[in-house]
Structure formats: structure tokens, C-alpha cells
Amino acid sequence: MSENNEPRRSAEPDPERIPKTQSPDAAPQDPLEDDADFVTTLDTAGGAMRPSAVPVSAQSGKLPGAEEPDSVLRKIFTGNGIVTILAVLLALILGGLLIAATDKVVAATSSYFFARPTDFLSAVWSAATSSYVALFQGSVFNPRGSGIGGQFAPLMETLTIATPLITAGLGVALAFRAGLFNIGAQGQIIMAGILAAWVGFALDLPVGLHLLLVLVAGVIGGAIWGGLVGVLKARTGAHEVIVTIMFNYIALYFLRYLLDTDLFQRPGETTPISPILDPSALYPQIFGSQYRLHLGFLLAIAATVFVSWLLNRSTIGFEFRAVGANPKAALTAGINVPRATILVMTLAGGLAGLAGVAQVAGTEKVLTDGVAATYGFDAITVALLGRSTPWGTFAAGVLFGAFRAGAVQMQIQTGTPIDIVLVVQSLIVLFIAAPPLVRAIFGLNPRKKKAATAGKSQKAATTGGAA
């Protein structure tokens, strides 16, 4: 391993790079003025500066002052779009190979591989494709379903599962944009679930008001749990990754404790499960009672719109992004960084709280210690796949929702364990995080050019993975 890993970057010393040690009284240059230079400042200054947590691709081109016409075509053909598609493809291929490698028919045909290689290859193909076909049928469209309603039932299931993924993913993404790693969506979902469920089954309120209170209680629960992390981070400098991981466990054990008490445990039940929420506390189902899809999905859409507005159109969102891009510069520019940290974690917690509400008031209708399932952790991969943009997160949430929903069907039909979804998901995120790797695998890496102009655009692309 040579230390000269980024030849493109090290080849051209950049005079524009920020000084290694920032003297506090240096002229505060507006970091948001020039997009291209801004990307450069995200460099770590040779290891002296903390890199931004935000994918550069999510920041650049989105900042005002560098507003460019963002045509879909341009996005697709400027690299990141292609890399995303290729990363998904590559992960699916690797997942398919893994399925094939553990398939019995494949193992049987491999014993006479040299006699009849076609048998082996077709077995590999059918093992992988049959799993993926089952995955598709379980998540989008099932041709064997009864009527149009039955055929699209899997899609409804996908959207149901996508709901908590989207909202929790938005929470993670929002924090990412402010430079914070919110690993704590899991705990925030749990805390929201606890409060929302308690309001849901313990209080007796009129229709409408009850659901509203459930919603508010859940969001507040998540917001407090997230905001607490923000306070710790802002006041004491505790690293949010560690704090959120610990908070996840604290929330989980707190939930387990509560489910052991009379307050939360269903009367006459020995297993840790709460009473069912009152009907007045439940989300109405959007397309009737035959599907599980509930109002939470519409709220997820609304949340996406809200986060999109917040990040791109509001002052607070601008502050968040400035803090995420460079906290020191943000401070110099007069932004109250501790306040932004607390606020963004509170909002992130509130969004994750929305996922908790969707679970107890929509999908599950009760509180168990599995209320958050693994949504909180999946939310991280969702946000990463969505490159921390609101609508990207939305799309990623639907994709992973489809994986989850389809995996159940896949396991029933082909016996492929659900865990393959975890493998594919994590591979996708790994590949997306390292565009040069994906390009190298598909032979798309442009030859190293000397021209500085070409180097500049490439650099912007490669630092996209640096986040």
C-alpha cells in the first residue's frame, strides 16, 4: 500500500487550499461563494482538518450562489447517477453470486463442471434470478395476485415498510447535512414508540384529537432523545456517534423495563407486549383495510417536502449546511454552531419519532421490544444511499422497503434467507461511497490527464466519496 493513494489529487498542489492552521483572525472568506473552491476546502488539508461528514455530492451544486439548472439528464450523465446505478447493479450481481454459491443445484452441477459447464452456468443463473424474481414479485407486482388489487398488493406492502425507513432516513440525512452522524435513529424510534403507544392505549380521547396527540407525543419523544444528543455534543463536545450508539441501548433497555411494568404490559400477559392501541389512535388506512398502507406514508411524503424546503429554502437549513460544510467557517460567519447542533439533532429525532409513530400507530398497532426492528440502522444506509438529499432519501427508502418486503416473499418461495438483503444493502452503500472503485470495476475510470481543468472536475467527483 503506497501512501500516494490519490495520484490525481496529490499531483497538483492547490494554492487555493485553506491554510493548515487556521488563525482565528484570518479574513473570513465566505465559504459558500464559489462552488468549485468550496469543494476543495472540504479536503482535510493534509490530515490537519476534520473532513465533513456530508457527502460532497450532496452539498455541491445545491448551495445558493452556485445554483445551476439541475436537469435530470445532467445529473445522470455527470457520474454520480451512473455510479449509483452501477453500484446497485454490482451489489445485486455479488448478492446473486452469493445465492448461487450456496445453492444445492449449483453445488451438484459443479461436480461435473468440466464435463458439462452449461449445466453449472444455467444453475447459477436460475438460482440467482429465481430469487430476484421472487424478490420483485414480493415487492412490486405479483402476476399471480387476484385482480389488480391483489397484483399490486406487494407494492402497498413495500410502501408500508418504506414509511419508517423514509422518515427515519430523513432524520439521519438531515443530521448528516449538518455534519453529524446520527446513528441513534433506533433509540429515537423506540422513545417515540413508547410515548406514542402510551398515549394511544392509556388515554381515552375523541377521534382525531387522539391520533393528533399520539403523533405529537411520538415526535416529541424522538425529538427529546435526539435533542439530548445535540445538547451533549454542543455543551461537552461528546462525540455524537458514541453518544447515539449508547443512547440506542439505553432506550432499548428502558423499553424492556417498561414492558415489564404494569403501566405498559398488557394485562394477563406474561410476554413483554403492550395493549393494542385504541382505534381512535390509529392511522387510517389509505386504500382500505385490505392493505396495511396507512396515513403515515402520506406524512412521510409531507416530511420529505418539509425537509426539502428546510434545507434548500430556509435560513435554518442554510445554517445547518454551512455548519456541516465547515463548522469553523460557519462560526466565523456568525452562525451559532451549538444552537444549530442542538436544533438539527432535535429535528432529526423528531423525524425518527415520526417513524416510531408509524410503527405503533400504523403498522404494528402495539408496542413490543421489536418496535424499531432494524429501521433505525437501515435508516443510516437509506440516508447514505440517498446521498443525504431529501428526495434521494425518499427514493432510497422505497428501494430498501422493496428489498425488505420482497425478501419475505423470496424466503418463502426460494428459501433464500432474508439476510441477503442486508448484504446487498451494505454493498450498495459501500460501492456508492467509493465511486473510483465502481468506475475501476466497470473500466470507466478516465485516464489520468495532466490538464488541470480536467483534474478539477475529476477531483470534485472523487471527493464525492471522501464523505
Partner 1 sequence: MSTTATAPVPGGPQGKPEQAKERKQTVSAKPVTWKLPVTLAALATVAFIFFGLMGPQGTAKFGVSSGGDFFQLPAIEVPAFLSGIVLSVILLGLAGYALTQKAKRNQRPPRWLPVVFTVVFVVAFLIWVVGGARTPSISLAGLIAGSVTLAVPIVFGSLSGVLCERAGVVNIAIEGQLLGGAFTAAIVASMTDNPYLGLLAAAVAGALVSMVLAVFSIKYVVNQIIVGVVLNVLISGLTGFLFSTVMQANKEMFNSPGRLPIIEIPVLSSIPVLGPILFKQSVVGYLMYIAVVVVWIGLFKTKWGLRVRSVGEHPQAADTLGIKVNATRFWNVTLGGAVAGIGGSFFTLVAIDSFTKEISGGRGFIALAAMILGRWNPIGAFFAALLFGFADNLQSIVTIIGTPVPSQFMAMLPYLVTVFAVAGLVGRSRPPAASGIPYVKG
Interaction residues for partner 1, span 346-405 (CB under 8 A): 377, 380-381, 384
Q: Does 111 bind partner 1 (CB under 8 A)?
A: no
Which is nearest to 134 in space by CA: 410, 405, 408? 410
CA distance 436 to 448: 12
Select the residue interacting with partner 1 from 136, 328, 373, 413 (CB under 8 A): 328
Residue pair 409/135 in contact by the 8 Å Cβ criterion: yes
Q: Which helix (H) or strand (E) holds 258?
A: helix 240-258
Pattern of binders to partner 1 over 209-248, x per CB under 8 A?
-----------------------xxxxxxxxxxxx-xxx-
**Which range binds partner 1 by CB under 8 A, 82-90, 152-160, 301-309, 423-431?**
423-431
Q: Does 198 bind partner 1 (CB under 8 A)?
A: no
Q: Does 59 bind partner 1 (CB under 8 A)?
A: no
Q: Does 267 bind partner 1 (CB under 8 A)?
A: no
CA distance 368 to 390: 30
CA distance 32 to 357: 37
Q: Does 15 bind partner 1 (CB under 8 A)?
A: no
Nearest distance in Å: CB 465, partner 1? 5
C-alpha cell at 398: 422505497
Select the residue interacting with partner 1 from 276, 437, 444, 454 (CB under 8 A): 437
Q: Does 20 bind partner 1 (CB under 8 A)?
A: yes
- Which is closer to partner 1, CB of 217 or CB of 384? 384
Q: Does 169 bind partner 1 (CB under 8 A)?
A: no
Q: Does 6 bind partner 1 (CB under 8 A)?
A: yes
- Which is closer to partner 1, CB of 282 or CB of 345? 345
Q: Does 304 bind partner 1 (CB under 8 A)?
A: no
Q: Does 168 bind partner 1 (CB under 8 A)?
A: no
Q: Does 314 bind partner 1 (CB under 8 A)?
A: no
Nearest distance in Å: CB 294, partner 1? 27
Q: Does 183 bind partner 1 (CB under 8 A)?
A: yes
**Which range binds partner 1 by CB under 8 A, 8-16, 116-124, 201-209, 450-458?**
8-16
**Which range binds partner 1 by CB under 8 A, 16-24, 123-131, 209-217, 312-320?**
16-24
For residue 451, CA distances in Å to 8, 11, 57, 79, 410 come to 11, 11, 23, 19, 50
Report the amino acid identity of residue 246.
M
Report the amino acid identity of residue 138.
G
CA distance 338 to 231: 8
Provide the 8-state DSSP code for 281: G
Nearest distance in Å: CB 248, partner 1? 8
**Which range binds partner 1 by CB under 8 A, 61-69, 73-81, 326-334, 359-367?**
326-334
Count the alpha carbons within 13 Å of 420 in the hemisphere toward its beta carbon. Answer: 29
**Residue written as cell 444511499?**
385
- Which is closer to partner 1, CB of 68 or CB of 419? 419
Nearest distance in Å: CB 110, partner 1? 15
Q: Does 250 bind partner 1 (CB under 8 A)?
A: yes
Nearest distance in Å: CB 293, partner 1? 26
Q: Does 165 bind partner 1 (CB under 8 A)?
A: no
Angle in degrees, CA 203, 301, 291, rounded to 5: 65
Nearest distance in Å: CB 279, partner 1? 31
- Which is closer to partner 1, CB of 89 or CB of 423? 423
Nearest distance in Å: CB 119, partner 1? 21
294: β partners: 285
Select the residue interacting with partner 1 from 15, 19, 24, 206 (CB under 8 A): 24
Q: Does 92 bind partner 1 (CB under 8 A)?
A: no
CA distance 139 to 44: 42
Count the alpha carbons within 13 Å of 230 in the hemisphere toward its beta carbon. Answer: 27
User: For partner 1, how many residues bind (rule: CB under 8 A)?
Assistant: 77
Q: Does 433 bind partner 1 (CB under 8 A)?
A: yes
Residue pair 16/42 in contact by the 8 Å Cβ criterion: no
Which is nearest to 255 in space by CA: 176, 186, 181? 186
The alpha carbon of residue 186 and the mean position of all alpha carbons in its chain are separated, in whole angstroms, by 12
CA distance 312 to 43: 23
Residue pair 448/8 in contact by the 8 Å Cβ criterion: yes
Select the residue interacting with partner 1 from 30, 33, 67, 419 (CB under 8 A): 419
Q: Which of residues 28-47 bind partner 1 (CB under 8 A)?
A: 43-44, 46-47
Q: Does 100 bind partner 1 (CB under 8 A)?
A: no
CA distance 243 to 183: 9
Q: Rounded to 10 degrees, what is the CA torsion of 376, 361, 210, 276?
A: -120
